[in-house]
Amino acid sequence: MRPIFVSNAKTEMVDAERAAWSMMSFGREQTEVDDRVNSFQMKTESSLDFCHLSSPEHCHISLQHHGPDARQSYGYAYEYQLNNDPVSSSQPIACGIVYPSRPVPHAKPPTHTDPSAVLNIDCRVCGDVATGFHYGVHACEGCKGFFRRTLRLKLAYDPCDLNCRIQKKNRNKCQYCRFQKCLLVGMSHDGKPLERVKLIYLHDNLKAECYVA
Amino acid sequence: MRPIFVSNAKTEMVDAERAAWSMMSFGREQTEVDDRVNSFQMKTESSLDFCHLSSPEHCHISLQHHGPDARQSYGYAYEYQLNNDPVSSSQPIACGIVYPSRPVPHAKPPTHTDPSAVLNIDCRVCGDVATGFHYGVHACEGCKGFFRRTLRLKLAYDPCDLNCRIQKKNRNKCQYCRFQKCLLVGMSHDGKPLERVKLIYLHDNLKAECYVA
DNA sequence: AAAAAAGGTCACGAGGTCAT
DNA sequence: ATGACCTCGTGACCTTTTTT
C-alpha cells in the first residue's frame, strides 16, 4: 500500500458547475504492475485540480489494459480520497474505473465473449460483472436489460417495502426493489446522471471515470 | 466404452479457490461421432490439471455440436471420473455438458420444440430424460415440478430411512427420499450453484461446463 | 473510422395450469 | 399429487445508433 499522488492530470468535467476535485491520494492494492502502469505512476505523481463533491464516499478504481497481452489481467484496484476542503483532508469519495481510452494498436479489440476483456468493475445494482456504462452507471447485461424493459414497456411492479438487498443470485426475486435500486444508483434513460460523473485522463491511454456512489 | 484421457486443457476456474481438478478418464457411451469430434478426441487425449472437489460424484458429459447441420443431433454422453487423489483412482465426480464455445455461423441453434434437439442428458434425480437445467441441476419435468411444489407449498413428507433408490419407474413411491435426492444432487431455489461450476476448454470450439452435483 | 452505448433478439428456465 | 405443456421474464449475444 504505497500511497501516490496524482495531479496535473488533464481533466474533463462532465458537469463543471457542480464538481471540483481535490487532492487525491492513491493506495495500491495489488503489487503486480507492468511497465506502462509504472510509467503512468511516475508521470502522474503530481497534483490535481480542486473540486467539490456533494456527497463524498469511499472510492475504488480498477485499472485495466487491453494491450497485446490483454489475456493477462492487469486489473487492480485503487482507493483514493478526495477532500471537499481543498486544504485539509480525508473525506473519501467516488468510485470508478480506469481503462485505456483506446486499445493499443494491433491489439485485438475486446469482445463480449472474450473473458479477458471483462471490465473489472461490479454492476452497481447487483454486484455482477459490469459489461459497460449503461444508462448512466456501470451495470451488467441483466440490469441493463431489466431497466430498459421496465421503461420501454412502462412496467409497474408490485410494491415492496422490504428494501430487498439486490445481489446477483437474488436479483430476480423482487422486481420492485431491483428497479428501486436501479434508480437509487442513478440509472436514467435521459443519459448519464452528469452531475455525478467525471472523467480524468491520467495518462495517454488511461482514463478514470469517477462518480459519487 | 473406450476410455480416454483428457489433459492439458486450458481451464478457467469459476471458483478458483475451491476447486482443483484431477485426472479424468472418459468412457464413450455412443459410437457414432463425426470427424470434428474424432479430431477433438485425438487432440485432447492427454492430461488435465489436477484439482480437488469437495464432493465428488458421478459425472456425465454430453457433447453437442451446433454445426451447419445442427438439426442432426450430435449430442452424446460421456461418463468420466475424476480423482481427488491426483495419483490414484476412481472417485467419480461432476456432471457437465460440452459444447462449442461459439456457434458456427449460419447454424440454426436447436430449439425446445425440436425433438432432435433434446439434451441427451439424464435427470440427475431419477434418470429420466432431462428437459433442461432446473434449480441448478439437469432434471426432468417431473422432478422439476416435484421440487417446485415441495418448496412452494412447504411440504413435509413422511420420513423414511431406507434411502430409497430413485428411478423413473419408482420415483413416486417415496416422496421423502425423492426430495432428499433432489437436495443431494444440488437442487436449489437460489439459482445455479455457480460456485460449483467450472469451465474447461477442451478444444478450439469445444467447452466443458462441469459442476459437482 | 472506431469506440461506446442504446436497442433488438430469442433460447432458456421459473413458475403456472390442468387433465390424469 | 403428478407431470406435460404453457406463458413470460431474463440476459447473453447481436445489430444499430450515437459519440468521439
pLDDT per residue over A130-168, tens digit each? 999 999 999 999 999 999 999 999 999 999 999 999 999
pLDDT score at B72: 24
Q: How far apart, in whole angstroms, are the C-alpha atoms of residue A81 and residue A61?
A: 11
Find where cell 449430442 sits: B75
Q: Is the alpha carbon torsion for A152, A154, A158, A160 positive or negative?
A: positive
How big is chain B by its Cα radius of gyration, in Å?
A: 18
Q: How far apart, in whole angstroms, are the C-alpha atoms of residue A89 and residue A196?
A: 21
> Cβ separation of B101 and A115 shorter than 8 Å?
no
SS3 A12: strand
Please list the alpha-helical segments (H only) found in chain A.
Answer: 35-44, 141-152, 175-184
Instruction: Measure, in angstroms, how far nucleotide D17 C1' is from residue A101 CA.
Output: 20
A 10 A CB-CB count for B205 gives 17
Cβ neighbours of residue B154 closer than 8 Å, sequence gap 6 or more? none
pLDDT score at A120: 77
Please indicate if any CB of chain B lies within 8 Å of the CB of A170: yes
Helix, strand, coil % over all residues of chain A, rounded to 5: 20, 25, 55
Q: List, as ranges, residues 25-84 from A with C-beta within 8 Å of B.
A: none
Q: What is the mean pLDDT of chain B?
A: 50
CB neighbour burial string for A65-82, b if at least 16 within 10 angstroms, e if fewer = bbbeebeeebbbbbbbbb
- Residues of chain A found within 8 Å of residue B190, distances taken between Cβ atoms: 169-170
Question: In chain A, which residues have pLDDT < 70?
Answer: 1-119, 191-213
Which strand D bases fall within 7 angstroms of a protein CB?
1-5, 9-14
Rounded to the nearest 10°, the torsion over CA B94, B19, B191, B186 is: 40
> Cβ separation of B102 and A115 shorter than 8 Å?
no
| B102: nearest CB among A113, A115, A170 | A113
Please indicate if any CB of chain A lies within 8 Å of the CB of B190: yes
- Residues of chain A found within 8 Å of residue B191, distances taken between Cβ atoms: 169, 172
Q: How far apart, in whole angstroms, are the C-alpha atoms of residue A55 and residue B46?
A: 57
| B191: nearest CB among A113, A115, A169 | A169
Q: How far apart, in whole angstroms, are the C-alpha atoms of residue A10 and residue A45?
A: 13
Nearest nt by C1' to B168 Cα: D3
Whether B207 and B99 have beta carbons less than 8 Å apart is answered as yes
CB neighbour burial string for B68-90, b if at least 16 within 10 angstroms, e if fewer = eebeebbbbbbbbbbbbeeeeee
Interface test with A, best of B190, B199, B205 (most A CBs within 10 A): B190
Q: Which of residues 166-205 of A touch strand D (CB under 7 A)?
A: 171-172, 175, 178
pLDDT score at A119: 56
Search chain B and give the residue with CA nearest A170.
B190
| B190: nearest CB among A113, A115, A170 | A170
pLDDT tens track of chain B, all 213 residues? 112 122 222 222 222 222 222 222 222 222 222 222 222 222 222 222 212 222 222 222 322 222 222 222 222 222 222 222 222 222 222 323 333 222 222 223 333 333 334 457 899 999 999 999 999 999 999 999 999 999 999 999 999 999 999 999 999 999 999 999 999 999 998 754 333 333 333 333 333 334 332
Q: How far apart, in whole angstroms, are the C-alpha atoms of residue A124 and residue A134?
A: 10
Whether B203 and B100 have beta carbons less than 8 Å apart is answered as no
Cβ neighbours of residue A125 closer than 8 Å, sequence gap 6 or more? A137, A139, A140, A143, A166, A171, A178, A181, A182, A185, A187
Cell numbers linked to A129: 460483472
SS3 B119: coil
- The answer to whether the pTM exceeds 0.75 is no
Contacts 24+ apart (CB under 8 A), A184-187: A185/A124, A185/A125, A185/A137, A185/A213, A186/A124, A186/A136, A186/A137, A186/A211, A187/A125, A187/A134, A187/A135, A187/A136, A187/A137, A187/A139, A187/A143, A187/A147
Please indicate if any CB of chain B lies within 8 Å of the CB of A169: yes
Nearest nt by C1' to B146 Cα: D2
The partner residues of A200 in beta bridges, in order of sequence, read A11, A208
- Residues of chain B found within 8 Å of residue A169, distances taken between Cβ atoms: 190-191, 194
pLDDT score at A101: 26
pLDDT score at B190: 72
Interface test with B, best of A164, A169, A171, A172 (most B CBs within 10 A): A169
